[in-house]
Amino acid sequence: MEILNKKQKIILVIILVIILLFIGYYIISKASNSKYIALETKENEYVNVNDDLEEDEYIDAKEKNIIIHITGSVKKQGIVEVEQGSRISDVIEAAGGTTKEADLSKINLAYIVQDGQKIYVPNINDKEETNTITKSAGDNVIKGEDNNKEQKININMASQTELETLTGIGPSTALKIINYRIQNGNFKKIEDIKNVPGIGDAKFENIKENISVK
């Protein structure tokens, strides 16, 4: 009976050891799984942050684009989206290029477009004077058919190249006009151009008949 009790004790000890081992294994496994889940959560959070950044960058990129309505002698008339600072040539390219009937001699391809404008690419068969560019409100900006007729330069919208066509306005002064316009907003009257460094009364007298703010 005493030997049997010893065997029972041994069996009981073995069972207890097995139970303790099982409990230990369970605790270790649970701890490992918790670390894995925590790590996975952090990785997912990292990915989500990156996704948000990419979305913000996409939104910023979209905000830098402008919408232009182009008609006339282009392959794809309608609405096109281009980057800010794009020129008429870029808009035409976005519209698939010109047709064979396009008359590019009547349009300034270097003109910098603005959001909401409508551009008409002239046709060689056009007989009546047609507005090349109109604002979203429909106000005329540039008339592009009669090249012999002197046109006033809109100093609020003119590109550097256009400003350089004015008497006494070189590349440096043209750039100053654009920078002033960016920093202070549009000119309210043509006389305001004298606020630009390098443009005094004498130079203004030479250009006042050739400029406008409309």
Evaluate if residue 204 carries a pLDDT over 90: yes
Split at pLDDT 50, 70, 90, the class of 4 is low
| Average pLDDT along the chain | 77
CA–CA separation, 98 vs 111, rounded Å?
Answer: 17
CA distance 47 to 197: 51
Lowest mean pLDDT among 11-25, 53-67, 169-183: 53-67
Instruction: Give Cα separations from 138 to 119, 121, 134 (angstroms).
Output: 11, 16, 5
The bridge status of strand 153-154 relative to strand 131-134 is unpaired
Helix (H, G, I), strand (E, B) or coil at 142: strand
Residue 107 has a pLDDT of: 83
For residue 119, give the H/E element and its range: strand 118-121
Question: What pLDDT score does 55 carry?
Answer: 53
Composition of the chain by helix, strand, coil, percent to 5: 50, 15, 35
- Better pLDDT: 41 or 167: 167
What strands, in cross-sheet order, belong to the sheet with 118-121?
A: 78-83, 65-72, 118-121, 131-134, 140-143
- DSSP H helices in the chain: 2-63, 88-94, 160-163, 171-184, 201-207
The per-residue pLDDT for range 130-175, each reduced to its tens digit, is: 556 654 433 334 434 344 345 789 998 888 888 988 988 988 999 9
Residues 6+ apart with CB under 8 A from 122: 72, 73, 102, 103, 104, 106, 107, 130, 132, 144, 145
Given a cut of 90, whether residue 191 has pLDDT beyond it is yes
* Identity of residue 37: I
Percent with pLDDT over 70 in the chain: 71
Residue 198 has pLDDT above 80, yes or no: yes
pLDDT tens digits for 68-117?
A: 999 888 999 999 999 988 899 999 999 999 999 888 887 888 888 888 88
CA atoms within 13 A on the CB side of 8: 5
**Confidence (pTM):** 0.40
pLDDT score recorded for residue 149: 43
Q: Is 22 helix (H, G, I), strand (E, B) or coil?
A: helix
Q: How far is CA 21 from each of CA 7, 13, 28, 72, rounded to the nearest angstrom?
A: 21, 12, 11, 84
Higher pLDDT, 11 or 141: 11
Q: Residue 53: its pLDDT value, please?
A: 45
The pair of structure tokens assigned to 158 is 């003119």
pLDDT of residue 129: 53
Say what the pLDDT of residue 32 is: 62
